[in-house]
């Protein structure tokens, strides 16, 4: 077990925001458990961290499976003996399940898509937090950050499941903060705007969407994974020691 450094876990750590966060945690000296449903992608990120002199392990986890999330924490406990920061980030969208096609309106949304998005984006956050909290309670400290979205604050047509899930993540985050804040554990959320990742590439590279989306962002650009990762690190760090139950919007001013 490794007790001489801080330890973080990142779900969805094999790509996109999760990959950026895993690398950022490692850059700050954390040992990192890179968890993903795609274990090959997780392994590639862990290898990159170790090649740069860091400490990382890849873990296969399906966040919709509560037992798999418990196994993830057991593996972290066996390897590192502690968990200081948890970034519950794994997520999908309707569009990722419709193979890039514009999702239907609510009354036409297939039930299997509704259930899959909720299972990953909301149940998955709950399953991970439920598994992480006992270890943090045992050590008397820890910081959890859950990935919400700007769609946790506003609605966008043809995204009923994703919007509902992300609103739910914010509510769950507040509940965890209230329940465990007096026992050394903080829980916050991060709400990214439009981030340039494989999950959003078909939208931000589309001639129909790119110009109007950029026009709505005062920053004049789409976010990169590092923009969100830096916010996550801050929320997990000592400079945010009095921040609990908050949702940090990282959207370049879109919602303003």
Active site positions, annotated: 162
Q: What does the alpha-carbon distance between residue 47 and residue 226 come to, in Å, rounded to a whole number?
A: 19
Query: For tokens 């259930």, what's the residue?
Result: 115
CB atoms within 10 A of CB 213: 17
CA 81, CA 183: separation in Å to the nearest integer? 19
Closest alpha carbon to 214 in 157, 250, 254: 254
Q: Give the Å distances, CA to CA, from 72 to 58, 76, 77, 159, 242.
A: 10, 6, 9, 30, 28
**Distances in whole angstroms, Cα of residue 90 to Cα of each of 18, 94, 139, 147, 201:** 8, 14, 25, 8, 17
Contact partners, residue 211, CB within 8 Å, separation at least 6:
none
Residues forming a β-bridge with 188: 145
Angstrom distances, CA of residue 25 to CA of 34, 56, 152? 11, 10, 25
Give the residue from 117, 119, 134 showing the smallest Cα distance to 199.
Answer: 117
How far, in Å, are 104, 121, 168, 200 from residue 89 at the CA level? 25, 8, 14, 15
């Amino acid at each position: 077990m490794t007790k001489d450094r801080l330890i973080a876990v990142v779900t969805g750590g094999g790509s996109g925001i999760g990959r950026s966060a895993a690398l950022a945690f490692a850059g700050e000296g954390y040992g990192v458990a890179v968890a993903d449903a795609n274990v090959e992608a997780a392994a590639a990120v862990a290898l990159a961290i170790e090649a740069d002199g860091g400490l990382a392990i890849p873990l296969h986890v399906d966040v919709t499976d509560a037992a798999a999330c418990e196994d993830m924490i057991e593996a972290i406990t066996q390897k590192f003996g502690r968990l200081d920061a948890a970034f519950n980030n794994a997520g999908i969208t309707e569009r990722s399940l419709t193979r890039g096609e514009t999702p239907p309106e609510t009354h036409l949304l297939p039930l299997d898509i509704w259930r899959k998005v909720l299972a990953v984006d909301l149940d998955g956050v709950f399953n991970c937090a439920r598994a992480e909290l006992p270890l943090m309670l045992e050590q008397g400290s820890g910081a959890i950050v859950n990935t919400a979205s700007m769609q946790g604050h506003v609605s966008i047509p043809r995204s009923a499941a994703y919007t509902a899930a992300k609103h739910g993540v914010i509510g769950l985050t507040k509940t965890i903060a209230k329940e465990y804040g007096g026992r050394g554990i903080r829980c916050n959320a991060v709400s990214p705007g439009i981030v340039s990742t494989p999950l959003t590439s078909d939208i931000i590279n589309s001639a129909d969407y790119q110009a109007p989306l950029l026009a709505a962002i005062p920053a004049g650009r789409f976010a990169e994974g590092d923009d969100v990762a830096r916010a996550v690190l801050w929320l997990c760090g000592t400079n945010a020691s009095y921040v609990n139950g908050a949702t940090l919007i990282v959207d370049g001013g879109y919602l303003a």
